[in-house]
């Protein structure tokens, strides 16, 4: 049976390839992303280290990071190396053609937040998609925002790294040029890409029968050339040379609006991260347009409830959780946007008194009533990785192409996929995006503006000491996933791997349905919550991989690769390579 369905895939894939290489991405095509059934989480999913540790959603990329640490690099060197390696080994999500956020907490000193989120092209405007076919903000060149990843990684390395650019990009070049052997987990993700991987320029690399089987070697020659150019010329090679020119040319030819000015004028934003407190812990996270503000708001609301005493996943505790999620998402949709363009009442939204005020609005028993809307699709993907080095420097990175394999377009000779981050804007007031988020006017498209994001790389400290480094992909479920990882550890005292692997819930108010992972709640609890007015769905199958590191009270790092991403790995800095010098 398994063989038959596999053969079906091969035949389908080969046949589609012949057609797709001549066609454009169909903007109205509907993606149905489904990850295969997972084996259960391991009994103990922790990897321990007394030195450095990295965890990412792709094993070879984690190995790259661990080796960079062993070569004397610090956590930022390793994070930049992983960022480039994932662009090769996890093409669904790791990227050069997208953007994201990096949170750095040096062992000594203040944290910093590097926002390299993509920007809307200068020719974009708030009515861009109103007369376009359905799906134009998700598929094809019109969906592409100006990428920020290369500038973000470069900024981090220049300011906080210790190794040369060429040294941290070298492993990625080797992985692209010589190829890497696909694991079953890698193949599962490539298969999820389906239609996007059968498009012009992309099909030649990924859409082949060969590239879809575990054990095959995936070689990416064009990507290796692109990486070499970046290794030599830095961000200029990406934003001011042939790479940008090729993207702009392809975009113009295919109905996109990217111009060279979008690339030459692209800037990152670097600032103090958003910091809030939760039961005596310091939560350092992503300021807008990232998802840290609603995360802190939810934590502030929950802080007023006796979660531990009320019990893990009891109806009452879940009612408080779902209500906190409701208000976090309501305010996100009402108030948040790119702070370079809109004024956000952050102080009020983050205050403990505002949380107390919201708690008074939460009914004791019944669910908060909202209008019902269409079910959400939630098919996007992103990737998160965490690094801590032996000095205690910590880095959390979440970066993304938005959907799996972005907009499904690749400019000739570049070798990397381009994002569809334009769909994270409010493309039409009142219309939900792919995550079912009906966002507000603060997030309307403007030239050079960054779309709102849920990405929230997060570092938690306790009494001034590093405690947790976390984050996750998963579109709008990012914020609620991190909320659960943090509260699972702080309130419910779960071990870090149990906190990560424990089945999850997600609620964003609209749609009214609470998404639940299998076994997240018992039937009895579900019936109780249904009586309160909640409704549930197990439709979402690709929950995000919360790649997390905890520093325990004995000073040992505990890293966990989320079992939901079997391609990933937590890897300790190799002991044997301790003496290697750079
Ligand atoms: N692209 C998903 C997010 O940034 O929230």
Q: How far is the CA of 381 from the centre of ligand 1 (A)?
A: 8
Q: Which one is catalytic: 57, 382, 383, 487?
A: 382
Give 477 Cα–ligand 1 centroid separation in angstroms: 10
| Interval between CA 454 and ligand 1 midpoint (Å) | 5
Q: How far is the CA of 138 from the centre of ligand 1 (A)?
A: 12
Distance 208 CA to ligand 1 centre (A): 29
Q: In this structure, what token pair is assigned to residue 506?
A: 């997600």
Nearest residue (by CA) to ligand 1, atom 3, is 453
| 368: exposed, middle or buried (Cβ count in 10 Å: 0-12, 13-18, 19+) | middle
The C-alpha torsion from 558 through 563 and 566 to 570, rounded to 10°, is -10
Q: Is the CB of 383 under 6 A from ligand 1?
A: no
Ligand 1 nearest-atom number relative to CA 421: 1
Domains and CATH numbers, the chain: 2-272+376-530+535-579 (3.60.20.40)
For residue 309, give every residue at least 6 positions away whose Cβ sits within 8 Å of its Cβ, in sequence order, or none.
none
CA of 99 to the centre of ligand 1 (A): 10
Collect contacts of 483-488 with beta carbons under 8 A, ≥24 apart.
Answer: 483/295, 483/298, 483/299, 483/302, 483/321, 483/324, 483/325, 485/546, 485/548, 486/278, 486/281, 486/283, 486/299, 486/458, 486/460, 487/299, 487/302, 487/307, 487/321
Residue 508 near ligand 1, beta carbon < 6 Å = no
Q: Is the CB of 403 under 6 A from ligand 1?
A: no
Where do the DSSP E strands lie in 106-240? Answer: 112-115, 180-181, 217-218
Q: Is the CB of 559 under 6 A from ligand 1?
A: no
Q: Is the CB of 400 under 6 A from ligand 1?
A: yes
Q: What separation in Å is there between the alpha carbon of 420 and the centre of ligand 1?
A: 10
**Residue 36's pLDDT is what?**
65
Q: Is the C-beta atom of 454 inside 6 A of ligand 1? A: yes
Residues with pLDDT less than 70, the chain: 1-36, 208-211, 370-380, 511, 575-582
Q: Is residue 424 within 6 Å of ligand 1 at its C-beta?
A: yes
Per-residue pLDDT at 380: 59
pLDDT at 379: 56
pLDDT confidence of residue 433: 84
Which residue CA neighbors atom 1 of ligand 1 most closely?
402
Residue 382: active-site member:
yes
CB distance 420 to ligand 1 below 6 Å: no
| Residue 206, pLDDT score | 84
CA of 400, closest atom in ligand 1: 1
Find the 404 Cα to ligand 1 centroid distance in Å: 11
At 235 the pLDDT is 98
380 lines ligand 1 (CB under 6 A): yes
Do the Cβ atoms of 138 and 403 come closer than 8 Å? yes
Q: Is the CB of 423 under 6 A from ligand 1?
A: no
Q: Which atom of ligand 1 is nearest to the CA of 291?
A: 5
Give CA separation, 320 vs 2, 517, 551, 556, in Å: 43, 18, 29, 33
What is the Cα–Cα distance from 464 to 103, expressed in whole angstroms?
Answer: 17
Six token digits for residue 171? 């492993």
Q: Is 402 in the pocket of ligand 1 (CB under 6 A)?
A: yes
Rounded to whole angstroms, the Cα distance separating 397 from 272 reads 15
Selection from 512, 464, 470, 473 nearest residue 487 by Cα:
470
Name the residue of 378, 420, 421 to mutate for ligand 1: max ligand atoms within 8 A of Cβ. Answer: 421
Q: State the chain's maximal CA–CA distance in angstroms.
A: 63
């Amino acid at each position: 049976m398994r063989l038959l369905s596999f053969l079906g895939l091969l035949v389908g894939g080969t046949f589609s390839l012949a057609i797709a290489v001549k066609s454009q991405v169909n903007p109205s095509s509907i993606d149905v992303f489904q990850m295969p059934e997972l084996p259960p989480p391991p009994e103990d999913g922790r990897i321990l280290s007394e030195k450095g540790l990295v965890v990412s959603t792709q094993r070879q990329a984690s190995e790259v990071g661990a080796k960079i640490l062993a070569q004397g690099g610090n956590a930022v060197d390793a994070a930049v190396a992983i960022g480039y390696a994932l662009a090769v080994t996890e093409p669904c999500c790791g990227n050069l053609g997208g953007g994201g956020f990096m949170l750095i907490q040096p062992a000594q000193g203040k944290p910093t937040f590097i926002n390299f989120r993509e920007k809307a092209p200068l020719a974009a405007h708030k009515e861009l998609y109103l007369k376009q076919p359905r799906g134009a903000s998700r598929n094809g060149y019109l969906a592409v925002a100006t990428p920020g990843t290369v500038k973000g990684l470069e900024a981090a390395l220049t300011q906080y790294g210790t190794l040369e650019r060429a040294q941290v990009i070298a492993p990625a070049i080797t992985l692209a040029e010589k190829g890497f052997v696909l694991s079953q987990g890698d193949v599962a993700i490539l298969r999820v890409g389906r239609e996007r991987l059968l498009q012009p320029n992309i099909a030649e690399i990924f859409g082949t029968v060969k590239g879809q089987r575990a054990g095959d070697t995936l070689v990416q020659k064009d990507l290796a050339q692109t990486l070499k150019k970046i290794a030599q010329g830095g961000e200029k090679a990406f934003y001011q040379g042939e790479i940008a020119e090729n993207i702009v040319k392809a975009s113009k030819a295919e109905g996109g609006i990217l111009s060279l000015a979008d690339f030459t004028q692209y800037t990152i934003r670097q600032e103090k991260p958003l910091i809030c407190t939760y039961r005596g812990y310091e939560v350092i996270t992503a300021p807008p347009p990232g998802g840290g503000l609603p995360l802190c708001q939810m934590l502030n609301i929950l802080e007023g409830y006796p979660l531990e005493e009320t019990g893990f996943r009891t109806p009452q505790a879940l009612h408080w959780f779902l209500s906190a999620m409701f208000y976090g998402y309501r305010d996100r949709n009402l108030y948040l946007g790119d702070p370079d363009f809109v004024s956000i009442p952050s102080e009020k939204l983050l205050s403990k008194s505002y949380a107390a005020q919201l708690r008074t609005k939460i009914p004791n028993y019944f669910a908060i009533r909202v209008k019902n809307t269409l079910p959400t699709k939630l098919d996007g993907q992103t990737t998160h990785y965490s690094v801590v080095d032996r000095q205690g420097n910590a880095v959390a990175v979440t970066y993304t192409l938005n959907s799996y394999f972005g907009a499904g377009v690749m400019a000739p000779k570049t070798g990397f996929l381009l994002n569809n981050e334009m769909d994270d804007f409010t493309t039409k007031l009142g219309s939900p995006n792919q995550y079912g988020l009906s966002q507000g006017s603060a997030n309307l498209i403007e030239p050079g503006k960054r779309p709102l994001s849920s990405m929230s790389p997060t570092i938690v400290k306790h009494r001034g000491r590093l405690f947790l480094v976390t984050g996750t992909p998963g579109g709008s479920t990012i914020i609620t996933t991190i909320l659960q990882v943090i509260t699972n550890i702080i309130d419910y005292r779960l071990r870090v791997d149990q906190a990560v692997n424990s089945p999850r819930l997600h609620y964003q108010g609209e749609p009214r349905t609470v998404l639940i992972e299998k076994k997240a709640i018992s039937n009895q609890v579900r019936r109780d919550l249904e009586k309160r007015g909640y409704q549930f769905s197990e439709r979402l199958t690709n929950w995000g991989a919360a790649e997390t590191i905890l520093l325990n009270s004995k000073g040992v790092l505990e890293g966990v690769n989320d079992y939901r991403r079997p391609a990933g790995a937590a890897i300790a800095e190799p002991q044997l390579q301790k003496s290697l010098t750079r």
